[in-house]
Amino acid sequence: MRIGRKLRQAWGAFWRRSRLVNGEPLNWVSLTVIILLDIFILINVFSGLSEISHWPLSPSQAQPCYEPWQSYRQDRGSDRAIRFLKQQMILEPLPQGHLEQLEESAKGKLGTLSSICLTYAKYQDAVNHPPNQARLRQQQKKQAQIQTLEASNARIRQEYGSTLLEQLAGQPPEQSINLVEAAKAKVTLEANNRQIAALKNEIAALEQAILQEPSSQAFLNFLEDTTQFAQLESEYRRSQFWYPSLQLLLQVLFYCH
């Protein structure tokens, strides 16, 4: 009971003080205006704190090539090189290359971009040239043809059982609900499979042409440079360590100011 009484007294004292300025009582209009002004100030303070925390370059912004490079190094697939190179190619027309985009992203920010990642971006732009883009488009077109043929094969195999029954029952072919007669199913499947094999060979040739490009070889050799990657990793770890501290320092300076 004594604690409850003290809490009520403290609340009452706070309420009375909140309604007085220099000993003069406030009306409800004045009190509402003061509360709204306080809310407005708080919103601006927190918005400023949030905005200033984005001034420094984050580790992923200062060393943007670290994560894709690390993923490439950890990839153990036999086709990792061609998969990586194809990921660097952008078929849609862009107003800027990788290097220009990277430099643009750092404008107005605190900190510097990794020189290693700037070199990485130059290799990206070198690989993303028209002949390679044309090869990638051809590959995608051929891959779509393969998918169409495989879908046709799947449908033929699914219908083969019913077409065989129709044939055994003596039903005329023109009355069949299926697309391929049983007698033609095997021939069609074999023809489709030959076409699929030919398309896969053509895709392999296109991929080999991309791999053999001097720009591709230079990029892959750069990715295999363990000394460069070790330096980049060291930069990335330092950025991870200092980034939160720099954010906090800027927020404190902003708040104190």
Q: What per-residue confidence (pLDDT) applies to 58?
A: 81
Per-residue confidence in pLDDT tens, the chain, 257 aa:
455 565 566 555 555 555 555 555 555 555 566 666 656 565 655 565 455 555 567 888 889 999 999 999 999 999 999 999 999 888 776 667 888 888 887 787 777 889 999 999 999 999 999 999 999 999 999 999 999 999 998 888 777 655 544 443 444 555 554 444 656 777 888 899 999 999 999 999 999 999 999 999 999 999 999 999 999 999 999 887 776 666 566 556 555 65
The first and second tokens of residue 174, run together, are: 């023109």
CB distance 114 to 232 below 8 Å? yes
Closest CA to 116 of 196, 242, 230: 230
Q: What per-residue confidence (pLDDT) applies to 155?
A: 85
Q: What per-residue confidence (pLDDT) applies to 2?
A: 53
What are the backbone angles phi and psi of residue 21, rounded to the nearest 5°? -130, 120
Residue type for position 172: P
CB distance 149 to 196 below 8 Å? yes
pTM for the complete prediction? Answer: 0.70
Tell me how many degrees the CA angle 170-172-177 measures, rounded to the nearest 5. 110
Closest CA to 146 of 204, 185, 78: 204
Contacts of residue 248, defined as CB under 8 A and 6 or more positions apart, other chains included, come to none
